[in-house]
Amino acid sequence: MNNFEYRHGELHCEDVPVSRIAKEVGTPCYVYSHATLLRHFQAYDSAFKNIPHVIAFAMKANSNLAILRLMAKEGSGADIVSGGELFRAMKAGVPASKIVFAGVGKSPEEIRDALKADILMFNVESSAEIHVINEVAASIGKKARIALRINPDVDPQTHPYISTGMKKSKFGIAADRALEEYKMASSLDHTDVVGVHAHIGSQLTDVTPFVDSLKKVVTLIDTLKAQGINIRYLNIGGGLGITYSEEKPPLPQDLADAILPLIKDLGLTLLMEPGRVIVGNAGILVTKVLYEKAGETKHFVIVNAAMNDLIRPSLYGAYHEIRPLDEEAAHRAKRQMDIVGPVCESGDFLAKDRLLAAVKPGELLAVMSAGAYGFVMSSNYNSRPRIPEVLIKGGEIHVIRERETYDDLIKGETIPAFLN
Ligand SMILES: *Cc1c(COP(=O)(O)O)cnc(C)c1O
């Protein structure tokens, strides 16, 4: 459920017509609904209310400071994957005691900064990384809390680029090597082995892979306990899918119902890292039609948003529903079209071979479900300034990130003197 709906013939975000937002901040722009964000977070949180838990919002899905603050105020922590994300999380006021740090390539500097900030734990992805964390911790006289990220070799039935828990994946430590690594980690002086972590992929539309993964993890936890390695945290990652088109993903409550029986008696604190399911359907990308163009075999609608603003269609062949802001326009005769941007790449499209109601230059469109992996993946390719982000709360319009200027584009660049 979300707060983007037609009222009086116009697409609204909460109480504001999206056309008014477009008028105030221009297009393209990202628009987020405060109410949807809150509801999604609370649905996840309350589904797990009967077990001690921490939600660490996977901030790579959307790392705007205002969104992070909003989450933190609801009690969320953050799942970070870089020093930059640590910086953002701290700026936004996310308590360090609820920050977990994943990623296969953490640098010694990033590890040191996270240790100094006293984050909850590192989700460690390799044997070599355990040693580096131990060394860095020793060098500053600290003990690093760690969980090992286990690769349970489960197929999450999602896009290969967002499958992370299969044998061929670069993530985690193979389940059958885990015990050995846990023993090694426990023998080190500057690590405190506190958890087990598994995150098998993103946009999962069925609970079965979660359950299969968890069964393997629970078996491992039992083995570890028998060996005297006392695990206190179980981190099940994120990955719950959303409806982009026809998908019928489980609700957070369905996930809770499926997994809680497996873990409720373990006496552990549950950690979770949802990203997409919180922000995906809480945001849209608003764009304007510039031109129509009849190709030899195709009809193109050229809009002012492009792959540099929203790369998911180009990168994953992802489907995003496209709606006109004017409800009337949705009833026009349909035709097959490609919705493409101005970037000079044939891979620059927002929709391909899509049957949509006819649109005209000057009209505004909403690209739905764009709140996750949208702005955060945007770039300046083709020297296009990155676009603004707007948070709507009831009838209020809050610009939470300004549109970049041309000067922003060249920030940090210099022409060496020899070229003068
Ligand atoms: C990306 C990621 C998540 C979030 O995934 P979603 O599908 O957005 O919920 C959680 N944990 C880790 C380790 C990740 O890499």
pLDDT at 1 over 60: no
Nearest-atom index, ligand 1, CA of 203: 7
* Candidate of 99, 101, 199 to mutate for ligand 1, largest count of ligand atoms within 8 Å of Cβ: 199
- C-alpha 109/C-alpha 113 separation (Å) is 6
- C-alpha 383/C-alpha 380 separation (Å) is 5
Q: What is the mean pLDDT of the chain?
A: 96
Q: Encode pLDDT of 312-339 as tens digits.
A: 999 999 999 999 999 999 999 999 999 9
The residues near 72 (Cβ < 8 Å, ≥ 6 apart) are 78, 92, 93, 94, 95
* Candidate of 60, 151, 236, 270 to mutate for ligand 1, largest count of ligand atoms within 8 Å of Cβ: 60
pLDDT at 295: 79
pLDDT at 169: 87
Closest C-alpha residue for ligand 1 atom 10: 238
Q: Encode pLDDT of 337-389 as tens digits.
A: 999 999 999 999 999 999 999 999 999 999 999 999 999 999 999 999 999 99
Please check whether residue 195 is in contact with residue 119, taking contact to mean a CB–CB distance below 8 angstroms: no
What is the CA(191)–ligand 1 centre distance, in A?
Answer: 24
Catalytic residue at 344? yes
- C-alpha 148/C-alpha 216 separation (Å) is 14
In the chain, % of residues over pLDDT 70: 100
Nearest-atom index, ligand 1, CA of 102: 13
pLDDT at 405: 98
What is the CA(240)–ligand 1 centre distance, in A?
Answer: 9
pLDDT at 296 over 90: no
Nearest-atom index, ligand 1, CA of 274: 9
pLDDT at 40: 98
**Could you give the dihedral angle defined by the CA atoms of residues 351, 299, 353 and 19, in that order, rounded to the nearest 10 degrees?**
30
Higher pLDDT, 269 or 154: 269
Closest C-alpha residue for ligand 1 atom 3: 238
What is the CA(56)–ligand 1 centre distance, in A?
Answer: 10
Q: Which ranges constitute the DSSP H helices of 140-169?
A: none
* Candidate of 67, 79, 125, 242 to mutate for ligand 1, largest count of ligand atoms within 8 Å of Cβ: 79
What's the mean pLDDT in 288-304? 94
pLDDT at 159: 86
pTM metric for this prediction: 0.97
In the chain, % of residues over pLDDT 90: 93
Q: Encode pLDDT of 194-233 as tens digits.
A: 999 999 999 999 999 999 999 999 999 999 999 999 899 9
pLDDT at 178: 94
Q: Dihedral of CA 317/36/309/304: which sign? A: positive
What angle (nearest 5°) sits at the alpha carbon of residue 12, between those of residues 7 and 13?
Answer: 140
Nearest-atom index, ligand 1, CA of 276: 8
What angle (nearest 5°) sits at the alpha carbon of residue 143, between those of residues 137 and 144?
Answer: 80
What is the CA(112)–ligand 1 centre distance, in A?
Answer: 23
Domain 103-272 fold: TIM Barrel (3.20.20)
226, 294, 344, 415: the active-site residue: 344
- The residues of the chain that CATH labels 2.40.37.10 are 4-31+280-409
pLDDT at 163: 81
- The residues of the chain that CATH labels 3.20.20.10 are 103-272
pLDDT at 180: 95
- C-alpha 210/C-alpha 277 separation (Å) is 15
Q: Encode pLDDT of 105-141 as tens digits.
A: 999 999 999 999 999 999 999 999 999 999 999 999 9
Which protein residues are within 6 Å of ligand 1, measured from CB? 58, 60-61, 79, 102, 199, 202, 237-240, 273-277, 372
Nearest-atom index, ligand 1, CA of 204: 7
Q: Encode pLDDT of 96-106 as tens digits.
A: 999 999 999 99
- Which DSSP letter does residue 96 get? G
What is the CA(346)–ligand 1 centre distance, in A?
Answer: 29
Q: Which CATH superfamily is domain 4-31+280-409 in?
A: Lyase, Ornithine Decarboxylase; Chain A, domain 1 (2.40.37.10)
Q: Encode pLDDT of 142-197 as tens digits.
A: 999 999 999 998 888 888 887 888 888 889 899 889 999 999 999 999 999 999 99
What is the CA(199)–ligand 1 centre distance, in A?
Answer: 7
What is the CA(201)–ligand 1 centre distance, in A?
Answer: 7
173, two tokens: 């430590």
